Structure 1
Amino acid sequence: MPTRARHRLLAAADELFYARGIAATGVDAVIGRAGVALGSLYNNFGGKDGLVTAYLDARQARFEQLWDDLVAARTDPADRVLALFDAFATWAEGGNRNGCADVAAVTQLEETAPGHAAALRHKRAVADRLRPLVVATGAPDPDGLTADLLLIHEGALSALALGLDPDPVGRARRLAARLLT
């Protein structure tokens, strides 16, 4: 069972790592924001590497639950694919407008860091979850369509963070819908 300190550390890490960056945020800032002792960090996560991995895993789990809920509520195969983009829209509306935490982790962490591996695992998981949904549409090239949809999704994440488009999430969904017709 998660401890109160663990919850507080994860909440603080989520806020600070996402807003400021993993590399730019020291454990002292996270501990201070969480209002816990240094020992709580080590007892719950073993150090910053463990905290970073847990932060990324928790974000991924929340997004996957949101996506799963939307997929489960739909029966049309194309609409089930578009659930990825609808989950993304809800995610962005919830304040997640700084782009992808996993991409940020990959760019900020050494390749040997556990958080780097977690971020790559999460990206593969999105592809692995999307592909069967695409296959169910009867698309003639499900691998190619999955790759196209993932590229649109990733581009929209970046455009959202950079403010390059007034509605990158909506644009991404419209592009995805066109590919599905």
Structure 2
Amino acid sequence: MPTRPDARQRLLDAGEELFAALGPGCPVDAVLARADVAPATLYAHFGSKAGLHAAVLDARLARWDAAWSAAVAAADDDRGRLLAVFDCLADFRRDGSPARWCAFLDAAAGAPPEDPTATAALAADTALLRGRLTELAGPVAGGRAGELADALLLVVTGTLAMHLREAPADAVARGRRTAEAVLAGVTG
């Protein structure tokens, strides 16, 4: 018989599911009910609903980072490593998350501008994207690596936003084609 996750993990799982489905404005009572814990348990582990939200976003960023690193490692050449972000986007969507698009953009869009949780999470995700894209663009674009990375960051962000408009697989395929055109324009 499988063991039930501890209260902290149940809170993280419930937060992941409900923040993704309902946004950062999800009622704390819904999270508590889904995790089957008392309010004191949430506050003992995370201090507040915002603390839980920050922990959920930190965990998601770590999973994204690991998945993207694996996609880069699996690529055959420099160009493939640079475009692996799109392979990873397609695979990462299959994780069963109820998220309609990007958890970090969703947090930023659904929270007040001064919300430190959303601001920090989006900044961390942006830094990861920009930094890795710049690093991977170096062997392909040389001195234009920063320019290419910024253009690809825009394409990735647009691809994530397109998840709200069409099927995620279509958005990723369209995003990859756009990224290939950008890559050809910078290196071609």
Matching of residue 68 in structure 1 with residue 69 in structure 2? yes
Paired residues for 1:1-181 under 5 Å: 4-23=6-25, 25-96=26-97, 98-116=100-118, 117-163=120-166, 167-181=170-184
Aligned equivalents of 2:143, 2:157: Cα separation in 1: 23
Cα distance, 1:166 vs. partner? Answer: 6.8
Partners in 2 of 1:109 and 1:155 — Cα distance?
Answer: 20
- Report the Cα offset of residue 140 of structure 1: 4.5
- Percent identity reads 38
SS in 2 for 1:175: helix
Q: What stretches of structure 1 of length at least 5 have no aligned partner?
A: none
Give CA deviations for 1:118-144 in whole Å, capped at 9, x if unaligned. Answer: 222222221112110011213441111
User: Partner amino acid for 1:27?
Assistant: V
Structure 1 pair 15/164, CA: closer, same or farther in 2 (3 Å)? closer
Q: Gaps spanning 5+ residues in structure 2: where? A: none
Question: In the alignment, residue 94 of structure 2 is paired with which amino acid?
Answer: E
| TM-score relative to the length of structure 1 | 0.90
1-side partners of 2:112 and 2:181: how far apart? 38
Please tell me whether the aligned partners of residues 8 and 34 of structure 1 are also in contact (alpha carbons under 8 angstroms): yes
Deviations 1:93-113 (A, max 9, x none): 334551111111112223332
The Cα offsets for residues 146-177 of structure 1, whole Å up to 9 and x where unpaired, read as 11111111111111122278701011112212
How much is the aligned-residue C-alpha RMSD, in angstroms?
A: 1.9
C-alpha separation between the residues in 1 aligned to 2:113 and 2:167?
A: 29
Q: What per-residue deviation string (whole Å, max 9, x for no partner) do you get for residues 4-41 of structure 1?
A: 11111011011100011111x11111010011121111
TM-score by length of 2: 0.87
Question: Which 4+ stretches in 1 moved above 6 angstroms?
Answer: none
